[in-house]
Chains A and B, each alone.
Chain A
Amino acid sequence: MTQENKPRYAADLMGGQVALVTGSGSGMGRATALEMAGCGARLALFARREEPLEETAEMIRAMGGEAFVVTGDTRDEDTIEAAMLKIKALRPAGRAGEQRRRAIRSGGARYLQQRVRGGDPQQPDRFLADDPRGGGSFHV
Chain B
Amino acid sequence: MFDNGGSVVFVTAISARSALTGFAHTVAARAGVTGMIKTLAAEWGEYGIRLNCVALGTIKTEALGRYPITPEQWQMLNRSVLNRMGAAEDISGMIIFLASKLGGFITGEDVYVDGGETLHLGHDAWDMINPELFEKRKRGDGKD
Which A residues fall within an 8 A CB radius of B? Answer: 1, 3-4, 8-9, 13-14, 17, 19, 26-28, 30-32, 34-36, 39, 96-97, 99-107, 109, 112, 115-116, 128, 135
**Does A106 lie within 8 Å of B88, measured CB to CB?**
no
For B101, list chain A residues within 8 Å (CB). Answer: 13
Interface: B140 (CB within 8 A): no
A26 to B60 Cα, complex, angstroms: 12
Binds A, one of B14-22, B72-80, B90-98, B122-130: B90-98
A46 to B136 Cα, complex, angstroms: 54
A1 to B8 Cα, complex, angstroms: 24
Tell me which residues from 22 to 67 in chain B have a Cβ below 8 Å from any Cβ of chain A: 28-29, 32-33, 36, 40, 48, 56, 59, 61-63
**Does B96 lie within 8 Å of A105, measured CB to CB?**
no
Residue of A nearest to B56 (CB): A28
Q: A13-B101, A128-B32 are in contact. Are A28 and B4 (CB under 8 A)?
A: no
A87 to nearest B CB, angstroms? Answer: 9
A28 to B12 Cα, complex, angstroms: 12
A70 to B129 Cα, complex, angstroms: 57
B123 to nearest A CB, angstroms? Answer: 33
Interface: B1 (CB within 8 A): yes
Q: A105-B8, A116-B40 are in contact. Are A27 and B3 (CB under 8 A)?
A: no
A39 to B32 Cα, complex, angstroms: 31
For A36, list chain B residues within 8 Å (CB). Answer: 92, 96, 99
A71 to B75 Cα, complex, angstroms: 34
Closest 4 CB pairs of A and B: A31-B88, A27-B61, A106-B11, A32-B92
Residue of A nearest to B54 (CB): A106
For B56, list chain A residues within 8 Å (CB). Answer: 28
Interface: B7 (CB within 8 A): yes
Q: A35-B89, A35-B92 are in contact. Are A112 and B8 (CB under 8 A)?
A: yes
A67 to B91 Cα, complex, angstroms: 21
B57 to nearest A CB, angstroms? Answer: 12
